[in-house]
Amino acid sequence: MTSNTEYIRRALREVALRRQVAMTKAEQARQRALVVVPELSRLENERRLAGIAATRLAVQGAGREQIDAALEKTRTISREYDRVLRESGYEQAASPHFTCKKCEDKGRLPNGQICECVRDLVRTMRREEVNQSSPLELSSFDTFSLEKYPETFDADLGCTVREHMRQLTEYAYRWAENFTLSNPSLYLCGYAGLGKTHLALAMARIVLEKGYQVVYVSAQNAFDAVEKEHFSNDGDTMTTLCDAELLILDDLGTEFISPYVTSCLYSLINTRVCRRLPTIYTSNIIDDKDLQRRYTEKIVSRLLGSCETLYFCGQDIRLEEK
């Protein structure tokens, strides 16, 4: 994962580019206005001469009243210049249109602090980096085929495997199609190759199209990054995971377990539960006791207590496709 310092550096460069573009557009508009509206050239020249006169008075040690009068003349001409600009339709030339009004695309506030626009960019960059590993473009409900699941009757399910998966898929589609931040979290569990990741990403695709912020990451990559950042004291992957409007934590149970990772997992689950932010977990672990042996009863209780469990069954689809 990219360090937090590098993210800020990139964001500041992006903001500086925005400022440069805004200033360039304003100057181009000014040059066009000078050609179209001759009065502007006259006023600009008068303002320049008035400014020189005020500076000369200050250098020569003139009285305060004389200097103030000269400065006021400069301001009066500037106001007239801006009025003519606006009335002639060249308002952009009067002042650049910055993306951020607070810092005027400088990236820092007058007190030297980093502006919120930079922090917003950093958050966006983090999400984009985390999502780079997502095969999102390959996953949709249209490509989720129920024909891969057998029509074998399952007594525990009370229906065929295919019918169970049809009902599960319909629920997942409704969950995504009617998505709000109050949606319940989901725990998608079942043996490998049953379509958990595919369905999770198909749901994510719909949610993304609705304009929500979605972060997809495998549990292994997520906690590898979190642990590295802990020891290097740089980066903020944990914040990205906690802040996402929808988080997909894929393949829970494949990550390397350490006391620190276990602590981070509980913190992540608990933070998102407290903020009422939905999460989709996928895992090959289907037995609660196996989960408890790996993560402790406290973590599993918090995890499953906040989730609707969707149980995937059938045979490994990937083997069927070979």
Q: What is the 3-state secondary structure (H, E, C) of the chain?
A: CCCHHHHHHHHHHHHHHHHHHHHHHHHHHHHHHHHHCHHHHHHHHHHHHHHHHHHHHHHCCCCHHHHHHHHHHHHHHHHHHHHHHHHCCCHHHHCCCCCCCCCCCCCECCCCCECHHHHHHHHHHHHHHHHCCCCHHHCCHHHCCHHHCCCCEECCCCEEHHHHHHHHHHHHHHHHHCCCCCCCEEEEECCCCCCHHHHHHHHHHHHHHCCCCEEEEEHHHHHHHHHHHHHHCCCCHHHHHHHCCEEEEEEECCCCCCHHHHHHHHHHHHHHHHCCCCEEEEECCCCHHHHHHHHCHHHHHHHHHCEEEEECCCCCHHHHHC
The pLDDT score that the predictor gives to residue 245 is 92
Top mean pLDDT of 63-77, 79-93, 120-134, 169-183 is at 169-183
Q: 6 versus 291: which is more confidently predicted? A: 291
Lowest-confidence region among 45-54, 136-145, 183-192: 136-145
Average pLDDT, the chain: 88
pTM listed for this prediction: 0.67
Kindly tell me if the per-residue pLDDT of 102 is higher than 90. yes
Dump pLDDT digits (tens) for 25-78: 888 888 888 888 888 888 888 888 988 988 888 888 888 888 889 889 999 998
* pLDDT band of 136, cuts 50, 70, 90: low
Q: 247 versus 319: which is more confidently predicted? A: 247
The pLDDT score that the predictor gives to residue 320 is 54
* pLDDT band of 168, cuts 50, 70, 90: very high
Kindly tell me if the per-residue pLDDT of 200 is higher than 70. yes
Kindly tell me if the per-residue pLDDT of 321 is higher than 60. no
Kindly tell me if the per-residue pLDDT of 322 is higher than 50. no
- Going from N- to C-terminal start, the domains of the chain cover 4-118, 133-321
The hierarchical CATH code for the domain 133-321 is 3.40.50.300
Dump pLDDT digits (tens) for 209-265: 887 888 888 999 999 988 888 766 666 788 889 998 999 999 999 999 999 999 999
The pLDDT score that the predictor gives to residue 28 is 86
Please state, for a pLDDT cut of 90, what percent of the chain lies above it: 53
Kindly tell me if the per-residue pLDDT of 2 is higher than 80. no
The pLDDT score that the predictor gives to residue 1 is 53
The pLDDT score that the predictor gives to residue 266 is 96
Please state, for a pLDDT cut of 70, what percent of the chain lies above it: 91
